[in-house]
Amino acid sequence: MAAQVPSKLIIASRESRLAMWQAEHVRDRLSELYPQCDIQILGMTTRGDQILDRALSKVGGKGLFVKELEVAMEEGRADLAVHSLKDVPMELPQGFALAAVLEREDPRDAFVSNDYASLDDLPAGAVVGTSSLRRQSLIAARYPHLVIKPLRGNLDTRLGKLDRGDYAAIILAAAGLKRLGLPQRIRSLLEPEASLPAAGQGAMAIEIAQRKDGLDLMAILAPLNHVPTAQAVAAERKVSKVFGGSCQVPLAAFATVDGAAMHLRAMVATPDGKRMASAEVRGPAASAEELGVQVSELLRQQDAVDILSVCLAEAAAADHAPNQAPAPRT
């Protein structure tokens, strides 16, 4: 039996152009499924959008880009929230759930520059912009002659800083550039072998809150769930969870699903790229989380915990704040 659909649904979204594109995409797909339902978008600003002068790893706290949207749902101002899955904490607060994961866009990192075609072409001392510890550590490991400088802000802001000449090149998620109709800005793509993507990169998720009115939003949103993507990101997010995943740690986890088979790769490193652990496993896509645990165990055998303790000590020192990262667990 088809789900009972209300006459109106409100989508909470951040106001960046990418977030709005994603919310509009979900709105359009829902409108197609449920033409009788009036679907509106509520734009909001989050703490992650406001704090732009610090690297994400130094802002601290999880869910910087999602909290305000959750409050809107809690207060009944919105029914669902659309997020870049990469920005969604591994553990949602009590009473919230992911209702659907949409088909993944290109998960790769993109090299963006006005003067150079790839990381290999950059001369010694060239400045590369990124605020992702993962990207920073991968670049430092392979290109020790390059200088990495922080780069924050939404996609348009970041591209503006590149165009102004602040950087020789910047690294961005290919997915965002493609969604915004800017694929021509991509000079080259970094293959997973060179730059393993972050857990959830390129995937969008729909979050919902527990309802008091009995509305079955899970069932309403189920047709938007893309099973192979949901399986891949379940494995990736399990790895992040095991290692207390946050933006304070250079951690990558990337799964591909081919029919019933999954290939999961993961990596942890120190921010300077000098120490790195990486591992991969293959197995049934239906056992996504179990594969996440397995690959985490392989990482642990390579001193991943020690590598992460270096990262967390650095983060805590930079923060002058108590170290809130939980101990690794499975």
| Active site amino acids | 87
User: Rounded distance, CA 61 to CA 150, Å?
Assistant: 19
Note whether 68 binds ligand PBG by CB under 6 A: no
Shortest distance (Å) from residue 257 CB to ligand PBG: 17
Contacts to ligand PBG from residues 283-312, by CB under 6 A: none
User: Rounded distance, CA 281 to CA 235, Å?
Assistant: 11
Name the segment binding ligand PBG (CB under 6 A); options: 36-44, 81-89, 261-269, 284-292: 81-89
Which CB, 110 or 277, lies closer to ligand PBG?
110
Shortest distance (Å) from residue 82 CB to ligand PBG: 11
User: Rounded distance, CA 198 to CA 109, Å?
Assistant: 9
User: Rounded distance, CA 152 to CA 323, Å?
Assistant: 23
The contact pattern for ligand PBG, residues 85-124, with x = CB under 6 A and - = no contact, is: -xx-------------------------------------
Contacts to ligand PBG from residues 141-180, by CB under 6 A: 172-173, 175-176
SS3 category, 1 = coil
Shortest distance (Å) from residue 157 CB to ligand PBG: 11
SS3 category, 182 = coil
Which CB, 5 or 180, lies closer to ligand PBG?
180
Residue among 13, 57, 84, 229 that touches ligand PBG (CB under 6 A): 84
Residue among 202, 228, 244, 273 that touches ligand PBG (CB under 6 A): 202
Name the segment binding ligand PBG (CB under 6 A); options: 7-15, 82-90, 139-147, 227-235: 82-90
Tracing tokens 């979900």 back to the chain, one arrives at 26
Which CB, 59 or 172, lies closer to ligand PBG?
172
Strand pairing partners for 124?
none
Check if the beta carbon of residue 133 is closer than 8 Å to that of residue 250: yes
SS3 category, 161 = helix
Tracing tokens 């915004």 back to the chain, one arrives at 180
Which CB, 104 or 241, lies closer to ligand PBG?
104
DSSP E strands: which ranges in 117-209? 127-129, 147-149, 169-173, 186-190, 204-209
End-to-end CA distance of the chain: 38
User: Rounded distance, CA 9 to CA 41, Å?
Assistant: 9
β-pairing, 127-129 with 169-173? parallel
For helices 17-33 and 155-163, the axis angle rounded to 10 degrees is: 140
Count other Cβ atoms within 10 Å, centred on residue 121: 15
Contacts to ligand PBG from residues 257-286, by CB under 6 A: none
Which CB, 21 or 143, lies closer to ligand PBG?
21
Shortest distance (Å) from residue 76 CB to ligand PBG: 27
Which CB, 84 or 136, lies closer to ligand PBG?
84
Shortest distance (Å) from residue 44 CB to ligand PBG: 16
User: Rounded distance, CA 143 to CA 54, Å?
Assistant: 24
Shortest distance (Å) from residue 201 CB to ligand PBG: 4
> What residues make contact with ligand PBG under the rule CB under 6 A?
84, 86-87, 172-173, 175-176, 201-202
